[in-house]
Amino acid sequence: MHRIQYPAEKKRETFEAEYIELFHDLERAFAALPPEKNLGWSFKDVLTKDFEALAKKAIEFGDTFNGCEVIESVFPYEEYQGKISHFFMEYGERMKLSACHYCGIEYINVYEDMGDYKNGLELVNEADEMELLTITGMGQNKVRLIVNERPIASLDKLDGVKGLGKVVIQQLKDYENRNKHYRNHFTLDHLLPKSDYPHFALSLYNLIPSCYTCNSKTKGVKDLGKMDDLVLLSPSSDKFNVYEMVRVKMVHKGPTLEKVFDLNDFSIRFEYGDRESTYKDYIQAFKLHGRYPFHKDKALDLIVKSRNYNEAMLKELEKHVKIPRNQIRMDIFGKDLFSEGESHRPFFKLRLDIARALKIEGVI
């Protein structure tokens, strides 16, 4: 439930240029399209126009090209899906891919096949066989050679291991500068469905990194309401404002919050700003009415802590442990609630809205 963090300014130009380069072999086929089928755009335009421009074209042409095999052949998503996913994985850290951009609760992080080793020496002594097999040029026999040499005091000792090979040895010595093998938890959702809008099957800002649940077959563009509203609901749009216009709230079943002790003592609801029906469609499309309450434990944790660590208690702790009160709050409730730029983390929206409702001092 947060906007995608694309590279800024000059870095965005490089980002888009690298994306366009993935499809250089398709440009000739696009150029051969008759004028009535190219939307009046260049190949670059189709790939990198912002989402608002895509939505306007979608409104202008409707589903005119639905099922058009000629257009589908020019923009074959399935053929390039692997390249596109790899592109997003390469930019995963810079784009802060962590939580699903639609729901904000499921993980979509990029991860590496290899464990977290500080250098090649630690790797050869501690990695399991499956991890070693991800090294370029490695095979089962070479893995056994390494395992049989353990403990290895220095990587230079590998030079004397017959059958290991120069390529593998160099890969191990250059471990910190290696080519990383990434995997991911995300899918790429076409917010404007490629079946109805085949021109946008490869459009960068029509691809939303999302979890498998949000990218389910039950969710269609019509579930999100009017086409005119999509610029407010697409995490790739500069006008995306679901984060600001939808708030998570708790409804306690007893007379006061002081009587909330377990998950059955309160409910999770959503409340909306302007254009309520627009945002209700969004919540319904991704089944968030049912999915957010499943994680009520995150809210209960904050409720209990806010009661146990009120300002009087924090003042006493500050006095005894000699740590600033603001730091104590961050240690207790979580540093992310007090820092800008953390909205990409799973459950952040849920936790922040509850923390604000509890009036925990200092939250952003």
Side chain identity at residue 350, one-letter code: L
Q: What's the pLDDT band for 178 if we cut at 50, 70, 90? A: low
User: Which two structure tokens, joined as six digits, stand for 201?
Assistant: 């099957």
Locate CATH 1.10.150 in the chain. Answer: 114-177
Give the residue with greater pLDDT, 20 vs 114.
20
Instruction: Please provide the distance, in angstroms rounded to a whole number, between the alpha carbons at the two ends of the chain.
Output: 17
d(CA 337, CA 348): 8
Q: Tell me the pLDDT tens digit for each residue of 234-262.
A: 999 999 999 999 999 999 887 778 888 99
Say if CB 56 and CB 72 are below 8 A apart: no
What average pLDDT does the segment 307-316 reach? 93
Instruction: Select from 1.10.150, 1.10.1470, 2.170.140, 3.40.50 the CATH code of 114-177.
Output: 1.10.150
- Range in 11-25, 141-155, 173-187 with the lowest mean pLDDT: 173-187
pLDDT number for residue 176: 72
pLDDT number for residue 255: 74
The residues, ordered by sequence, that sit 6+ positions from 341 with a Cβ below 8 Å of its Cβ are none
d(CA 322, CA 324): 7
Say if CB 145 and CB 123 are below 8 A apart: no
What average pLDDT does the segment 312-336 reach? 94
